[in-house]
A and B are shown apart, each in its own frame.
Chain A
C-alpha cells in the first residue's frame, strides 16, 4: 500500500520569500509522484510530476520538486513566491492508476 505525508498543514510566508512544502511517501513498489494545486474556488490542477529520468522537475510558474528515493521525499520549492501562489497544494503518488494524496498544505502568501 502507498501512503503520503505532507509535514505541514499550513505554511504562511511573505511575498518574494522562498518556500518549501514537504512531502514524504511510503511505497513498496515504484510509484509516480505528483504535486497538484487547488486555487480558491477552483478544481485541482496538476503542477508538476516525476515519472522517470531527471530527479528535478519544474513547473511553468517557477516551482520545482526533487525526487529523493533514499529519503522517500518529493519536496516542492519555489525561490520567490507571489501573492497569486496562495492555494492548497497536494502531494500524491500514483500506482495502477489510483492516486493516493497527502493531507494538503495551505500556502498563504502575505504582502
Chain B
C-alpha cells in the first residue's frame, strides 16, 4: 500500500509567482494535514482537513495561502503570490479514524515533503 506522496519534491520559483503543491494521502484516510518547516525553525501546523472540509486552519499564515481538498481525496496548497519568507519544506500527513492494521487510528503518516525555494 502506498504511503503519503507529495509533488513536486522540489520547487524553485521567483518572488511574486504562483506555486501549487499537491498531496496524495494514504487511501481511505479522511484526515489530511499540512505542516511547514521554515529553515532553522520548528515544524508548524498549517491546517487540517476532514474529508473535504477544513476542520482547523488556524495555522495558515495569511490569505496568500489557499488549501483545497476537492472530493476528499488529494489536496493542493497554492501560494499566490509567493514571498521570500514562504521558503521552506511543506509536509503533508494523513490519518484515519478506524483501526486498519498495520496502521493505527489517529496516527499521522507523513509524506517526504516539498522543498520550496522562493528567490
Contacts and interface: CB of A to CB of B under 8 A. Distances in A.
Interface stretch (B13-21, B40-48, B69-77, B78-86): B40-48
18 contacts: A43-B4, A43-B91, A43-B112, A43-B113, A44-B93, A44-B110, A45-B110, A46-B108, A46-B109, A49-B107, A94-B108, A97-B95, A98-B33, A98-B59, A99-B33, A99-B35, A99-B93, A103-B41
Given A43-B112, A96-B56, A101 B107 contact: no
Q: Which 6 A-B pairs have the closest CB atoms?
A: A43-B112, A44-B110, A101-B43, A103-B42, A43-B110, A98-B45
Q: Main SS of chain B's interface residues?
A: strand
Given A43-B110, A97-B33, A102-B42, 5 more contacts: A36-B110, A43-B111, A43-B113, A46-B107, A100-B45
A96 B106 CA distance: 10
Contacts of B107: 46, 49
Given A43-B113, A44-B91, A104 B106 contact: no
Nearest to B5: A43
B87 interface: no
Interface residues of B, number: 24
B55 interface: yes
Contact of B48 (A36, A46, A97, A104): A97
B43 to A, nearest CB: 4
B33 to A, nearest CB: 7
Interface of B: 4, 31, 33, 35, 41-45, 48, 55-56, 59, 91, 93, 95, 106-113
Contact of A97 (B44, B56, B91, B110): B56
A104 B56 contact: no
Contacts of A46: 107-109
A90 interface: yes
Contacts of B112: 42-43
